[in-house]
Structure 1
Amino acid sequence: MTKRRTRAPSPDPTALPRQDAIVWEQPFCWSFLCPRYWLVWFFVGILWLLAYLPHGVRRATAFALARLYQRVYPKRRRIVERNLEVCFPDQSAAQRRAWRDAHFQLQAYAVLDLGRLWFRSVAYLKRQTRVSDPDLFERLIHAGGVVLTGHGAGLEWIGHFFTMNMTGSAMYKPFGKNRLLNWLFERGRVRHGARVYPREQGLKPHLRHLRAGQGFFYIADEDLGLGDSVFAPLFGIEKATIPLAGKIAALGKAEIYPALGQLDMASGRYRLLLLPPVKIPTEGSTDAAEAINQALERLIRDDPPQYMWSLKLFKTATSDRADLYVS
């Protein structure tokens, strides 16, 4: 990875100091054209084609891929089933199976939609997106804030949508070991002006964006092991949670807006579910973790299949709990 420094226009009152305006960008390498990457380029071509084909084609392709994926990767299907079972024990088995199937269809469509995000115009992408609370969204755009989110089907899309409307930052995590995939995803994420920083850089650059009245796209549902995590319930199950959202907001002098991207399979359009700001304790405590998980749970319950249930949400277990994912 290389870093490039760019000078922010001085008349902009929200611009960061020059030494802080860092965009992380992996340069294009001619080695990306080697045969080892030809399969990746083939799929990029498929994504480009799908970006301009009708929604019905993408939907039919997503349904086929979802069925195939469940057959080829039964382990991932069982993770989804286990998560839904422990989080929604009061739902019928038939309802959970329907949610499972819808989950895989939504996730498959979202992958196919990388083409639209990478190749279609900003005007087009905005037309394909609606916001649950436009007034609240305007408030966030003008004042900035921490966007507290989780892994929904519309995560990539809504992340792009935020950067089309406001300046903000997000943490960057390399996408596997494939250098071309890293380049493609990074280029896609900074396409609309996002400031993307490697996780190793910590919170300092994001705090500076927040203090400048901008945004920080914060994914709060990852299980990163014990480390700095504390346990707090999510759907009644103790989950390892990083309790930093309140501290980030306090240091950045910003509010916290829970948000989740949702995909409408009937139309192929996306919805930004945006909730009013929440108060989260600033100390890294169980209370802070509980407030974070309560906000995430509210977002997820709005439309359960939208959430990425294929994650091992509860892989880090308390000492008195068995591994939920042992077959």
Structure 2
Amino acid sequence: MSDSPSPSSRDTSGADQGQPFERQFLGPLYWGIWLFVGLLWLLAYAPHRLRLGLAILLGGLYRRAYPKRRRIVARNLSLCFPEASDETRSDWLRRHFILQAYALLDLGRLWFRPADYLMSHTRVSDPDAFAQLVAGGGVVLTGHGAGLEWVGHFFTMNMTGSAMYKPFGRNRLLNWLFERGRERHGARVYPRAQGLKPHLRHLRAGQGFFYIADEDLGAADSVFAPFFGVEKATVPLAGKIAALGRVPVYPALGQLDLGDGSYRLLILPQTVIPQEADESAAAAINSTLERLIRIDPPQYMWSLKLFKTRPNAAREVYD
């Protein structure tokens, strides 16, 4: 199933130590999480049809049980695709919840199945572009697709690289599980609070930086630029990071195939993002993400409040 390059050797020397396992993780407070981890382990070895059936059930339950989240998805789709029919957007909304549910249930395969299995269940849209990235390093400009976690693991199975992460609040066990899962193939993950220095070090060594560029982080560190025609608070740093790291930018998005449970790394050739952290860079970032998302809109995580921060005290777009 895979048409990707074979894994390259990775230098993991000097890797930072992650959060250690703590004895308190075995206490009753965390038993529910461990029960869910056990379910994920079972699903990692279950047939695709079982995972799909559970995803359809879970996605439907979540869609009906959390009307606020459903309204966010519907609002984003109506803002970004006003030309689409109501029926089309309703179908995209339904598929979106199924895709996100399947990706959640698939954490077990990522955490417990071996690298050769994960490689064999991943396709690459442009093997030449991916080979160039592996050989020379680069900033991987991406967003919250259904396959985000999977293709993040896929990158680390092929090359050394780094990524930022946002801790799960005070739940130290969830932090430990996700950090351990993301680092199992050699990735380096750093809390956002550590800034860009560790990532620039990796880039200047010819490695990769998995840069998620679509979050609304507020007005302080953002500029506004159109995203599907709607002004969006955007952190305009992708081009500047690439210039400082002396590497190109590769747009990419992870997609999930509900037909067989495989994943696709949708990767585009090198693209130029302005180095100046201004509106032109933000517009280029958003335009690049649009190109990726339009290929299969339900794959994107429309449940994010993409337009929470409004320009010039404009009216709130969410209920």
- Over the matched positions of the two proteins, sequence identity in percent amounts to 69
Check if 1:273 corresponds to 2:260: no
Check if 1:197 corresponds to 2:187: no
Q: Report how many residues are paired.
A: 311
Aligned counterparts of 2:96 and 2:302: Cα–Cα separation in 1: 7
1:23 match: secondary structure: coil
Mapping of residues 170-319 of structure 1, within 5 Å = 170-319=163-312
1:65 match: secondary structure: helix
Moved over 3 A (4+): 13-16
Q: Which residue of 2 aligns with 1:321?
A: 314
Aligned alpha-carbon RMSD (Å): 1.3
Structure 1, 193-202 or 59-68: larger mean CA deviation: 193-202
Task: Encode CA deviations 1:219-260: one digit per residue, 9 max, x unaligned.
Answer: 000100001200000000000000001100000000000000
Letter in 2 for 1:313: L
Q: Per-residue deviation at 1:135? A: 1.2
Mapping of residues 71-220 of structure 1, within 5 Å = 71-220=64-213
Q: Per-residue deviation at 1:137? A: 0.7
Report if the CA contact (8 A) 1:110-1:154 is conserved. yes
Aligned counterparts of 2:293 and 2:46: Cα–Cα separation in 1: 30
Report if the CA contact (8 A) 1:24-1:197 is conserved. no
Q: Which residue of 2 aligns with 1:4?
A: none
C-alpha distance 323-24 of structure 1, shift in aligned 2 (>3 A): farther
Aligned counterparts of 2:254 and 2:291: Cα–Cα separation in 1: 13
1:98 match: secondary structure: helix
Q: Per-residue deviation at 1:197? A: 1.2
Q: Per-residue deviation at 1:208? A: 1.0
Q: Per-residue deviation at 1:200? A: 1.3
Q: Which runs of 5+ in 1 are unaligned?
A: 1-12
Aligned counterparts of 1:120 and 1:158: Cα–Cα separation in 2: 14
Aligned counterparts of 2:313 and 2:26: Cα–Cα separation in 1: 52
Task: Encode CA deviations 1:38-58: one digit per residue, 9 max, x unaligned.
Answer: 110000000000000000000
Q: Per-residue deviation at 1:77? A: 0.3
TM-score, normalised by the number of residues in structure 2: 0.95
Aligned counterparts of 1:73 and 1:129: Cα–Cα separation in 2: 32
Q: Which residue of 2 aligns with 1:7?
A: none
Q: Per-residue deviation at 1:14? A: 8.7
Check if 1:36 corresponds to 2:10: no
Aligned counterparts of 1:121 and 1:22: Cα–Cα separation in 2: 21
Q: Which runs of 5+ in 2 are unaligned?
A: 1-8
Q: Which residue of 1 aligns with 2:3?
A: none
Task: Encode CA deviations 1:168-190: one digit per residue, 9 max, x unaligned.
Answer: 00112212321111110110000
Task: Encode CA deviations 1:147-182: one digit per residue, 9 max, x unaligned.
Answer: 000000000000000000000001122123211111
Q: Per-residue deviation at 1:144? A: 0.5
Aligned counterparts of 1:15 and 1:311: Cα–Cα separation in 2: 35
Q: Per-residue deviation at 1:15? A: 5.5
Q: Please point out which of 42, 51, 67 is paired with 2:44.
A: 51
Letter in 1 for 2:78: E
Aligned counterparts of 2:220 and 2:298: Cα–Cα separation in 1: 30
C-alpha distance 127-226 of structure 1, shift in aligned 2 (>3 A): same
Aligned counterparts of 1:269 and 1:14: Cα–Cα separation in 2: 25
Aligned counterparts of 2:304 and 2:17: Cα–Cα separation in 1: 27
Report if the CA contact (8 A) 2:134-2:159 is conserved. yes
Report if the CA contact (8 A) 1:24-1:196 is conserved. no
TM-score, normalised by the number of residues in structure 1: 0.93
Report if the CA contact (8 A) 2:10-2:186 is conserved. no
